[in-house]
Amino acid sequence: MTRLGRGGRKPGEPIYLRRHIIALALAVVLPVVLLQLYKIYIGPVSFDAQIGFGLLISILAGFILTRAYRSSAQNEP
């Protein structure tokens, strides 16, 4: 029988904190919501601009998520 560490997690198992899940949901939803708000309040956007904007926001959100996961992973033994 193997002993589970703190909180019942196995060694090497990822840590999913509430803030990580919220940040991940924002990273997925944010590009779509921002584009829809732009279309409603300002006007139509070309498909190329939508793709470019979506990629830019996704890359920035991914960078922020990486920083969030790294800071919590450093606190683990």
Q: Residue 59: what pLDDT?
A: 86
* Residue stretches of the chain with pLDDT short of 50: 1
Neighbour count for residue 31 (Cβ, 10 Å)? 20
In a domain, 3, yes or no: no
In the prediction, which pLDDT does 76 show? 55
Q: Domain for residue 36, yes or no?
A: yes
Q: Is residue 66 in a domain?
A: yes
Which residues span the domain enclosing 47? 32-77
Scanning 1-77, the segments in alpha helix (DSSP H) are: 18-41, 47-73
- Domain total in the chain: 1
- Residue 68 within any structural domain of the chain: yes
Contact (CB, 8 A) for 73 and 35? no
Q: Is 42 part of any domain?
A: yes
> Has residue 48 been placed in a domain?
yes
In a domain, 64, yes or no: yes
